[in-house]
Chains A and B, each alone.
Chain A
Amino acid sequence: MQAQHSGTPLLRTAPPWRAGVGLKPEHIPEILETHPDVGFFEIHAENYMGAGGAPHRNLAMIRERYPLSLHGVGLSIGSEGPLDREHLGRLRTLNTKYDPELFSEHLAWSTHDQIYVNDLLPVAYNVDTLVRVCDHIDEVQETVGRKMLLENPSTYVAFEQSSMTETAFLKEVVRRTGCGLLLDVNNVYVSCINHDRQPEHYLQDFPIEAVGEVHLGGHAPDMDQAERPLLIDAHDREVDAEVWRLYEQILRKIGPIPTLVEWDNDVPAWGVLLAEAERATGLLKLAAQPDMTYAV
Chain B
Amino acid sequence: MRSEPKLSPNGAFSAALLDAEQSIPTGIVGPDGAPDSKRFNVYRNNVIVSLVEALAHTFPAVQQLVGEEYFAALARSFVIENPPKSPVLIWYGREFGAYLDAFPPLSAYPYLGDVARLEWGWLQSFHSADACPLDPARLASVSPNLVGEVRFEIHPACRMIASIWPVLSLVQANRFGGVCSKPINLDNPEAVLVTRPDIKVQLSCLPNGAVTFFNALTNGKTFSDAAALASFDDSRFELEATLGLFLGQGVFTDLRVVAGSNEHGKAIANTGEVGCLP
CB distance B128 to A124 under 8 Å? no
Asked whether, in the complex, the Cβ of B29 is within 8 Å of the Cβ of A117, the reply is no
Q: Is the CB of A75 within 8 A of B87?
A: yes
Q: Is the CB of A79 within 8 A of B29?
A: no
| Residues B29 and A158 in contact, CB atoms below 8 Å apart | yes
Residues of A near B196 (CB, < 8 A) are 53
Within A122-160, which residues are at the interface with B (CB < 8 Å)?
123-124, 156-160
B27 touches A161 (CB 8 A): yes
Name the segment of A4-12, A32-40, A225-233, A276-284 touching the other chain. Answer: A225-233
Contact of A80 with B by CB under 8 A: yes
**Chain A residues positioned under 8 Å from B9 (CB to CB):** 80, 124, 159, 161
A111–B83 CA distance with the chains assembled, in angstroms: 11
Q: Are A112 and B14 in touch, CB under 8 angstroms?
A: yes
Residues of B contacting A225 with CB < 8 Å? Answer: 30, 36-39
* Contact residues in A for B152 (Cβ distance below 8 Å): none
**Chain A residues within 8 Å of B, Cβ to Cβ:** 46-47, 49-57, 73-76, 78-80, 84, 87, 90, 109-119, 121, 123-124, 156-161, 194-196, 222-226, 228, 230, 232
Q: Is B43 within 8 A of A156, CB to CB?
A: yes
State whether A117 touches B30 (Cβ < 8 A): no
Chain A residues whose CB sits within 8 angstroms of the CB of B38 once the complex forms: 223-225, 230
Residue B156 interfacial (CB < 8 Å):
yes
Interface flag for B28 (CB, 8 Å): yes
Do the beta carbons of B128 and A52 come within 8 Å of each other?
yes
Interface residue B264 (Cβ < 8 Å from any Cβ of A): no
Question: Once the chains bind, are A117 and B18 in contact (CB under 8 Å)?
Answer: yes
Q: 16 A-B pairs, CB-CB below 8 angstroms?
A: A50-B127, A50-B128, A51-B127, A73-B87, A79-B10, A80-B9, A90-B88, A112-B13, A113-B11, A118-B47, A118-B50, A119-B43, A119-B46, A156-B43, A224-B39, A232-B42
Q: Given A73-B87, A156-B43, A225-B39, A54 and B8 touching (CB < 8 A)?
A: no
Given contacts A53-B196, A54-B126, contact A156 B88 (CB under 8 A): no
